[in-house]
Structure 1
């Protein structure tokens, strides 16, 4: 297990309110990329989507969920190599689905998101020889 710690005082928070029609993942990545920090994570997120594009666990093909959707959870990390984000949404019947958040998810009315930016920390996503996937690394 790899670990890294930093003082809480070195963390800065960025609050975003994404409007109707905004692309969720792309907007979050753009907001992070505009900051000087090289590592971050989602601290809070609420809102709604009209289209969620997800890749559920174990599947290679994306799944599109269309309709009035509430964001139930949105979590993940941001690095210089891009974000790794997971989303769970509920439809009007309260049925939930989730997976890796992909490009193409669209805000319905608003998305209120707080990104924690870690000063003095660098997150990257190199390929892990054990999993063959791009996994989180830090320094």
Structure 2
């Protein structure tokens, strides 16, 4: 069953990360700095020197040594948490993807566009069916 649909006005935020920065941590930090409560990644292009991923249905974080191109990044983020999926490619064009975890380090750049849903908040709560902290969308008030 899908959750109730919400509509909201949006604001876009565009910024760039630099070599050595942690992609996931910096996204959360950016939301803290700008008081973003319900943001989603619209676009991210750049590269990683190393990637820390939790692969599909896995429990452990796996480190991959790059450099890698960021092919795609999508998900939700706020000032306390993020649920992000990333696809990266190596020098042969082989693509790998999974849950983006802390420790994924920018190689040359990451050019990012976020949209903030100004009338909403994103929270995470434990879901007894999945065993994970899942998205809870609420009207901001």
Shared fold, TM over 0.5: yes
Higher strand proportion (structure 1 or 2): 2
Q: Which runs of 5+ in 1 are unaligned?
A: none
CA RMSD of aligned residues (A): 1.2
1:66-81 equivalences in 2 (<5 Å): 66-81=65-80
Cα distance in 2 for residues equivalent to 1:81 and 1:47: 24
Asked whether the 8 Å contact 1:37–1:120 carries over to 2, the reply is no
Cα distance in 2 for residues equivalent to 1:132 and 1:104: 24
Cα distance in 1 for residues equivalent to 2:78 and 2:133: 11
Give the alignment's TM-score, normalised by structure 2.
0.92
- Once the two structures are TM-superposed, the CA of residue 80 in structure 1 deviates from its matched residue by 4.9
Cα distance in 1 for residues equivalent to 2:70 and 2:36: 26
Aligned to 1:32: 31
Q: Is 1:97 matched with 2:96?
A: yes
Aligned to 2:118: 119
Aligned to 1:48: 47
How many corresponding residue pairs? Answer: 137
Cα distance in 2 for residues equivalent to 1:73 and 1:29: 18
Following TM superposition, the consecutive aligned residue runs of length 4 or more in structure 1 with deviations greater than 4 angstroms are: none
- Once the two structures are TM-superposed, the CA of residue 35 in structure 1 deviates from its matched residue by 2.1
Q: Which runs of 5+ in 2 are unaligned?
A: none
Deviations 1:57-110 (CA, angstroms, capped at 9, x unpaired)? 111111111121000010000135401011110000111111000000001110
